[in-house]
Amino acid sequence: MGKISVIERALNEGNGVVRLAPAWVPRSFCRPGRRLRLHPDDYFSLGLARGGIDERWFASTTPADNGPGTPEDEGLSYIVTADGKEKALLTEAVAHFKGAFIGEALYGKYGRWPMFSKFFDNMGPLPHHIHHDDAHAGLVGESGKPEMYFFPAQYNNYGAEFPFTFFGVNPGVTKDQVREALMNFAKGDNHLLELSRAYKLRMDTGWDVPPGVLHAPASLCTYEPQFASDVYAMYQSVLYFDHAVPESLLWKNCPADRIGDFDYLMEVIDWDVNVDPNFYSNRLMLPIPDGEAQGEGCLSEWICYKCASAGAKRLTIQPGKTVTFRDQVAYGLLCVEGFGKIGEAELSSPAMIRFGQLTNDEYFVTEEAAKAGVTFTNLSETQPLVILMHFSDHPSSPAVK
């Protein structure tokens, strides 16, 4: 069956709602936190040279930038038919159906599906690193990368080694101090983290992380809606437990003619945001009701809402309830708790997944289906059905008000 025929079949089966297969991503510089619900034997299914699997990407048309040896489809989401026998890339669906799939306004603005979300699940903290804005990412032919974090309780049964995130640099720190730390990267511990501060993280809350902000994410399983880009550079040289960071990652996504130029690394930093004395109040996100009543026994909340180009909601449906949820935009979704139905298809949060196995926890909803309304049914008598929804350019987002 041709790929377009596969997509058409999947769309017809789900009335505009298509099932997605899990997209697993390894990182050679990370250690799996083992909260992705993969079978314990499967975290190194891609081989030791590729590293352990510590990410799962959702509604993704963005290939993972993992260097030489990376498969072309790593990080990309596949649409699968109801019987699981046929598949096609979500990228192919967007390229063929365009605005009829993701919405005319969104396709007209970006010419693609412009975001994805993921679970980042690392045993320890990540290095203090940075994502480039459009101007700097554009120098290497990429897009800038705003992102947001949310820490779902359902995927955080323990905090691993360091459940605290460093953001920015302390007010009063000078640019010369940061530049000196970067220049000392290859000499050992460059002590960059000593210029920053850590925040204790709370389950079911989130943070806004604009491009140009230094951040060293915690060892929690983190849900991360973000713009469709994989640009970054690691500015910290040695982590806790003496985990060294390759110097090549300091210069990742740096133009070839600027490699070795520490002034360029400083230019990437949005200094005012990094030293903001009100960083906590300006960047923390607590869940807030979205103000659109969807029916008895249903609660829809904004959970990631300080960035216009990527956002997320949490939908909670009480035991035994059925609700038709209507929204204004196309979205990807992940069921993180409970079991039931999405339309006539199974919707359930798996307890364990084998590498390569299909699940019934992830779907993509076209704009037309979202506006018409998607019916969710909680078949449990005791457990809520909890769904995370990720999207771009939501016209009702608090970020655009």
**Statement to judge: residues 26 and 130 lie in one domain:** yes
State the alpha helices, DSSP H only, in 30-146: 90-97, 99-102, 104-110, 134-138
8 A C-beta contact, residue 344 and residue 389: no
User: Are residue 298 and residue 198 in the same domain, yes or no?
Assistant: no
Our count of domains for the chain comes to: 2
d(CA 26, CA 71): 11
Same domain membership, residue 142 and residue 117 = yes
Position 49 scores a pLDDT of 86
**362 domain residue, yes or no:** yes
- Bin 188: left if φ > 0, else alpha if -120 < ψ < 50, else beta: left
Domain-located, residue 346: yes
The answer to whether residue 334 is domain-embedded is yes
Are residues 262 and 315 located together in one domain of the fold?
Answer: no
Residues 142 and 273 occupy one common structural domain? yes
Q: Is residue 5 part of a domain?
A: no
User: Which CATH number covers residue 121?
Assistant: 2.60.120.10
The answer to whether residues 292 and 233 belong to one domain is no
Q: 310 and 254 in one domain?
A: no
Longest dimension (CA), the chain: 62
Using CB atoms within 10 A of its CB, is residue 228 exposed (0-12), middle (13-18) or buried (19+)? Answer: buried
Q: Are 79 and 20 in contact (CB under 8 A)?
A: yes
pLDDT of residue 143: 95
Do 264 and 340 have their domain in common? no
119 plus 180 within the same structural domain = yes
Amino acid 93: pLDDT: 98
- Classify residue 127: in a domain, yes or no: yes
Q: Are residues 255 and 297 in the same domain?
A: no
* Whether residues 214 and 271 fall in one domain: yes
| Domain stops at, among 265, 284, 303 | 284
Residue 211: C-alpha distances to residues 222, 272, 319, 367 (Å): 18, 12, 40, 28
Among 245, 268, 284, residue at a domain's last position: 284
Digitized pLDDT (tens) for each residue of the chain, 401 residues in all: 589 999 999 999 999 999 999 999 998 778 899 999 999 999 999 988 899 999 999 999 999 988 788 999 999 999 999 999 999 999 999 999 999 999 999 999 999 999 999 999 999 999 999 999 999 999 999 999 999 999 999 999 999 999 999 999 999 999 999 999 999 999 999 999 999 999 999 999 999 999 999 999 999 999 999 999 989 999 999 988 888 999 999 999 999 999 999 999 999 999 999 999 999 999 999 999 987 767 789 999 999 999 999 999 999 999 999 999 999 999 999 999 999 999 999 999 999 999 999 999 999 999 999 999 999 999 999 999 999 999 999 999 998 66
Verify that 72 and 206 share a domain, yes or no.
yes
Q: Which of 240, 261, 284 is the last residue of a domain?
A: 284
Residue 11 lies in a domain: no
pLDDT for 1 equals 59
Report yes or no: 289 and 303 within 8 Å, Cβ to Cβ. Answer: no
Q: Residue 28 has what pLDDT?
A: 78
On whether residue 58 sits in a domain, the answer given is yes
**C-alpha dist (Å) from residue 178 to 128, 185, 387:** 12, 11, 41
pLDDT of the residue at 296: 84
Q: Which of 344, 363, 365 is nearest to 77 (CA)?
A: 363
Only one residue has tokens 């309304």, namely 373
**Distances from the Cα of 150 to the Cαs of 144, 221, 233, 350, in angstroms?**
20, 9, 22, 20
pTM of the predicted model over 0.75:
yes
In a domain? residue 1? no
Residue 382: give the domain boundaries.
288-400
